[in-house]
């Protein structure tokens, strides 16, 4: 969606077009990373960041063997991967639907998508702003 805002500069006023940006934080099991990457490439989304994280939630971790298999311990946190993507506002619904269709539905795997607003973006090299920067 293209929004137009009235911007007041000290001596004059002008119209500035600004595209709304959203940040998607996608929490997934690490083995899904290449498949998420394929989905993003298929939708012509240029960049993403992936970070290995640990956390706890509704999905409970399985017990693992310790001390050469003589005893078992249940870890408190489950390893996951957080994929961060910045997209235009009009792409959010389609992207989330594709991800949910491909990966949703299995309660044992877990995963979340968090969506938040991005105030702006600037590319260091090209000095482009907002949509042109992503």
Q: What is the pLDDT of residue 103?
A: 83
**Between residues 55 and 24, the one the model is more confident about:** 24
The mean predicted confidence, pLDDT, of the chain is 81
- pLDDT exceeds 50 at position 94: yes
Nearest to 111 by CA among 119, 120, 102: 102
**Between residues 88 and 69, the one the model is more confident about:** 88
Q: Which domains does the chain have, with CATH numbers?
A: 21-133 (3.30.70.120)
pTM for the model: 0.73
Give 23-81 as a DSSP string.
Answer: EEEEEE-GGGHHHHHHHHHHTT----EEEEEEE-SSSPPPPEEETTTTEEE--SSEEEE
Residue 19 pLDDT class (50, 70, 90 cuts): low
From CA 110, how far away is CA 60, in angstroms rounded? 9
- pLDDT exceeds 60 at position 4: no
């Amino acid at each position: 969606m293209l929004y137009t805002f009235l911007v007041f500069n000290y001596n004059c006023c002008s119209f500035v077009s600004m595209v709304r940006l959203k940040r998607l934080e996608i929490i997934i099991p690490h083995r899904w990373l290449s498949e998420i990457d394929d989905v993003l490439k298929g939708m012509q989304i240029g960049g993403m960041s992936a970070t290995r994280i640990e956390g706890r939630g509704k999905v409970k971790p399985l017990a693992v063997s310790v001390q050469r298999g003589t005893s078992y311990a249940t870890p408190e946190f489950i390893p996951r991967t957080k994929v961060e993507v910045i997209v235009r506002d009009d792409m959010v619904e389609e992207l989330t639907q594709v991800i949910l269709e491909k990966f949703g539905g299995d309660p044992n795997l877990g995963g979340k998508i968090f969506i938040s607003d991005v105030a702006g973006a600037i590319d260091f090299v090209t000095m482009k702003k907002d949509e042109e920067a992503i």
